[in-house]
Amino acid sequence: MSEQRGSPPSTYAILALLEDQPGSAERVAWATFRRMALIAPGLWLAGLRGRELVRGSVASSLTITLGLIGYYSYCRKNGKAVT
């Protein structure tokens, strides 16, 4: 695996997923959930409440995860280092 020292845990989880390592889907889900918990307070400060807050934090975190999966997949297919 072409891991970078100091990278966030989601990087390692996504790289493991792309390499079909056992348990990697759960690691990605957990990293996505933790990111969601970090995004929620910011959205709360921005005025979102209730279902809007939950939807916003879930959508934001999933968008980041899917973007990273796409980017890392692209890098791997084109022989570029994941940075």
Question: What string of DSSP letters covers 27-82?
Answer: HHHHHHHHHHHHHHHHHHHTT--HHHHHHHHHHHHHHHHHHHHHHHHHHHHTTPPP
| 2 within a domain of the structure (yes/no) | no
Residue 12 three-state SS? helix
Task: Give domain status of residue 39, yes or no.
Answer: yes
Residue owning tokens 């990697």: 24
Phi and psi at 5, nearest 5°, equal: -60, 140
Q: How far apart are CA 28 and CA 9, in angstroms?
A: 9
**Res 3: pLDDT:** 47
Question: Is 4 inside a domain boundary?
Answer: no
The per-residue pLDDT for 9 is 83
The predicted structure's pLDDT at residue 1: 46
In a domain, 43, yes or no: yes
Instruction: Indicate whether 3 belongs to any domain.
Output: no
Q: Is the pLDDT of residue 4 over 80?
A: no
pLDDT value at residue 49: 97
Dig out the tokens for 57 from the structure. Answer: 């934090």
Residue 47's domain comprises 9-77
Q: Please state the rounded mean pLDDT for residues 55-67.
A: 97
| In a domain? residue 51 | yes
Domain count, the chain: 1
Residue 57 is assigned to a structural domain of this protein? yes
Quick: pLDDT tens for 10-55.
Answer: 899 999 999 999 999 999 999 999 999 999 999 999 999 999 999 9
Residue 56 maps to a domain: yes
